Amino acid sequence: MSSPSSETETHEVTLSRDEQWTVHHVLATRIDDAIDANETPPEWAIEAFEALESGDESGTFTGRQATELAAALSDYLADNAPDADVAHGTDVLDRLESALESRA
């Protein structure tokens, strides 16, 4: 039996409003930075942004989106993020990592 690919498996991550704003900021920054560099924004970031903006309290991310988002959050948190974002971002990062570990 084969495991689902990271493009088809999904992870539902419940996010508070403040956590949504932190993730929104990280994704919007990633997309804007690519546009500012005259590059195409990463597809995973656009799709994760759309999943976040779906309007419910949880984001459903593919394995790849969850992996990339976890890396982007980790980078953001390590780069002098505001204290409030550190608290919210760390909580989201922990949940993403737990969800990703559960698939292994």
Token pair belonging to 75: 């980078």
Tell me the per-residue pLDDT of 37-94, one tens digit each, with 9 for 90 and over: 999 999 999 999 998 887 767 788 999 999 999 999 999 999 989 998 999 999 999 9
Tell me the per-residue pLDDT of 14-48, one tens digit each, with 9 for 90 and over: 899 999 999 999 999 999 999 999 999 999 999 99
Q: How far apart are CA 90 and CA 39, in angstroms?
A: 29
